[in-house]
Amino acid sequence: MSRGNTPSQHNSTLAISPLVGSRSLQVPQQRNPANASSTRQWSGSHRAAQTPHHSVTYSPLVQKIQNNASLATPAPVQDHGSTAGLLASMTKNGLFGPTMPSTLRKVSIVGDIRRHSTSIDNVVGDVAGAESQIGDDRLVQDIDIAQLPAAEKLRLWRHDSLMQHQYRTAEYIGDKVYAMTGDPNDAFWLAQVYYNSGSYIRAVELLTRNNLDTSSVMCRYLTALCLIQLKKYEDALDIVGETNPFRDPLGNHVKNQDGGIKLESSMCYLRGKIFSALNNFDKAKESLKEALLVDVKNFEAFDELVSKNLLTPTEQWTFISSLDFSDLDDNEELIRSLYITKLSKYLNLDQVHSAHEFLSEEYKLDNNTDLIQSNADTLFTQCKFSDCLKLCEEALEKDEFNFSILPIYISCLYELGGKNKLFLVSHKMAENFPKHPITWFGVGAYYMCINKISEARKYFSKASILDPSFSQAWIGFAHTYAVEGEHEQAVSAYSTASRYFPGTHLPNLFLGMQYLLMGTLPLAEEYFALAYDICPYDPLLLNEMGVLYFKKNDYLKAKRYLKKAWEAIKALDSESKSWISIHTNLAHTYRKLGDNERAVKCFRLVLETTGKDADTLCALGYVYLRMNRIEKAIDSLHSSLALRPSNQAAQDLLKQALDVNLSTVLDESHPLVISSKLQEQGTGTMSKKRTANILDAHGVAKKLKHGQDSSEDEDSMDLE
């Protein structure tokens, strides 16, 4: 704690919560062994008997600590002697417990005596009950709340009202407490009430009065948070500073003792949000990374880095390996695995799968929404849209309006052409969340699906205005121009998205595709190179780069990138039809390089997968024609024309193949020549037999004419 009993940058706000931290109790030097032994057991009758009287005990801020319970061992000690327990406090009488007569209102306080052997400072009341030792360094004491000072009672009242969202009560009582004490901690909690009720200006005025924002770290933090809500980003930056004033030049790490998030880390997070709002994304990224380096528990900073595309896929995996999870003790592997599931799925899929298995087996989180979202991200990256859609629908059955699942779900419906489901989900979202950006993203996707491009553009634009950091809305907005062939407007929209989301390669990829369509190959190559620097693992990007170099007649480079695209498809275990175009492009590249055998293999592989395709059959016929396999060329070209009779290229190639076939002199050893000779020999033998039979018939007729009868042997020979 810093001077004035307010938290320092190394503490969290838990240090000033009611009846926690500095508000401890005096411990008697002489302990009654009998009483100690009677209250040593934490579970059981002792807990059951006291639960109804302890209105504050079950607040998360002062909850009793079981000796053998933790997240690593999720099964707590069961209370078989009574139904009283943690949930007993969650009754209709109050979040902290039922109302009891004043003489029975007692609370158990868990005091840390690791650093105090005989006494604890800052006495707030007399000890009314027994003491219980937990482990080696924890002490539980029973207090009669009726004997607490008036300010402490009011603080509990204020805090209970805040927890129950009764902000008028919390404001009314909190104002009186602050007027009585003048304590910066009470000013902070009153400002919290203002913040939760949306009175941001009042909170700022309260915290800046008497220079509380300069003398107290937590007041400075809350002041900046209110200014961000008011969109006064420059003023907020003046409060938190452009750099971290608490940074240790020696890099020494101070471990947080209270289990909360360090205020220093929260200040770094706010600094990152301010820089992001001011479009200074480099500084935003550095501030958010510093927030996690100061305290890895700051998930807000981690999610901002990953979900807002401030880090590239490689940077994400490199950064997480630099984080120190050791402060989390037995939760170290749990939180590390949870963070890994949020990272990019373009690489290290084996580590993602291992994290999923660990969380499912050790913590039974296989049905957790965040893990389902991670699996959906993986399937979407692999272009397995049907499986991804099924998984999203399972998650949405439990939580219909889960905003982490809905963008993936909407994208899958668009890819699969599910316009009816898109209409239903968009309609429900518009009814329930008319001011949420995902609502209008869904509406835009629906209009895009039914080919009403101008309507789609309007709603994508609305989504991006509601949340400028919503990358899907920006890219959807740019797509509407690209679909209509308005390349200049599409380039402008994609360029804006590339500035706002430096961690994703998609805007630069689409910029390159636009310039490729416009025939501006140098600019297309430049943007493809930028996208490749961000994510060299995307098969779509590698395929487009192969097409670019094919058009530049650099067939060796085209082959290299197309083969990389095929390897990326296999690494991602993708079932996308995009690999078909990769093989088709690779076949044409082999054809240009004169490797006709490999070209034929690629074309035949495509035909085996997609069935008969007029263009592929035409290309295969052309390769056969170049290889002088005239018969196969004619067959392929006939098949192509059967599918598309108007294919002029196939008609011209077929005519050429037939002309070549007519003018070709076959070798003596050619199968057709041999077959023809055999057929001729067979025909000659039959002719001789027919001639002999005719001569014999003339002879018989002549004999009959002269009256000479034939013998039986001769007749039988004739009949044979």
Longest dimension (CA), the chain: 159
In this structure, what is the dihedral angle of CA atoms 117, 122, 124, 126, given to the nearest 10 degrees? Answer: 40
Of 6, 1, 2, 8, the C-alpha closest to 182 is 6
The mean pLDDT value for 681-696 works out to 57
* Range name among 244-258, 351-365, 489-503 with the lowest pLDDT average: 244-258
Q: How many CB atoms lie within 10 A of CB 280?
A: 16
Whether the Cβ atoms of residue 240 and residue 220 lie closer than 8 Å to each other: yes
pLDDT of residue 76: 37
- DSSP state at residue 296: T
What is the identity of the amino acid at 87? L
Using alpha carbons, select from 400, 452, 394 the residue that is nearest to residue 427. Answer: 400
Q: Does 308 score more than 90 pLDDT?
A: yes
Name the DSSP letter for residue 707: T
Looking at residue 10, what is its pLDDT? 60
- Amino acid 329: pLDDT: 86
Flag whether pLDDT at 713 surpasses 50.
no
pLDDT-derived band at 46, boundaries 50, 70, 90: very low
Report the pLDDT value the prediction gives residue 8, as an integer from 0 to 100: 64
Lowest mean pLDDT among 157-161, 508-512, 673-677: 673-677
- At 698 the pLDDT is 53
pLDDT band at 416 (very low <50, low <70, confident <90, very high): very high
What are the backbone dihedrals phi and psi of residue 700, each rounded to the nearest 5 degrees, phi first? Answer: -65, -40
Least confident span in 51-60, 396-405, 493-502, 527-536:
51-60
- C-alpha 583: how far from chain center: 29
Q: Per residue in 196-219, pLDDT tens?
A: 999 999 999 999 988 898 888 999
Is residue 290 predicted with pLDDT exceeding 50? yes
pLDDT above 60: residue 129: no
For the entire predicted model, the pTM comes to 0.76
What pLDDT score was predicted for residue 703?
Answer: 55
Backbone angles phi, psi at 535, to 5 degrees: -145, 90
Burial status of residue 160 (CB atoms within 10 A of its CB: 0-12, 13-18, 19 or more): buried
**In this predicted model, which residue has the larger pLDDT, 48 or 187?**
187
pLDDT above 80 (res 650): yes
| Interval 433-450 mean pLDDT | 97
pLDDT at 523 (0 to 100): 97
Q: How far apart are CA 634 and CA 628, in angstroms?
A: 11
Read off the pLDDT of each residue in 279-285 and give the average, rounded to a whole number.
96
* Model confidence pLDDT, tens digit, residues 608-649: 888 888 999 999 999 999 999 999 999 999 999 999 999 999
CA distances in angstroms from 61 to 65, 109, 124, 173, 408, listed in the order given: 11, 11, 17, 20, 37
pLDDT at 39 over 50: no
- Token reading at 597: 């055998």
Residue 462: per-residue pLDDT: 97
pLDDT (tens digit, 9 = 90+) per residue, 540-558? 999 999 999 999 999 999 9
Tell me the average pLDDT across 292-313.
96
Among the listed ranges 282-296, 466-480, 573-587, 649-663, which one has the minimum average pLDDT value? 573-587
DSSP state of 259: S
CA 414 to chain centre: 18
**Does 487 have pLDDT greater than 80?**
yes
Candidate from 328-332, 397-401, 500-504, 708-712 with smallest mean pLDDT: 708-712
Percent of the chain with pLDDT over 70: 72
pLDDT above 50: residue 66: no
Q: What are the DSSP calls for 439-458, one per residue?
A: HHHHHHHHHHHTT-HHHHHH
Distance CA(609)–CA(386), nearest Å, equals 18
The β-bridge partners of 138 are: 112, 134
- Give the confidence band of 268 by pLDDT, cuts at 50, 70, 90: very high
pLDDT digits (tens, 9 = 90+) for 70-96: 333 333 334 444 333 333 333 333 333
Answer for the pair 177, 151: CB distance below 8 angstroms, yes or no: yes
First and final CA of the chain: distance in angstroms? 125
Average of per-residue pLDDT values in the chain: 80
Distance of alpha carbon 472 from alpha carbon 408, whole angstroms: 10
- The residue among 553, 512, 558 whose CA lies nearest residue 535 is 512
The percentage of residues in the chain with a pLDDT greater than 90, rounded to a whole number, is: 63
Nearest Cα to 95, choosing from 145, 165, 150?
A: 165
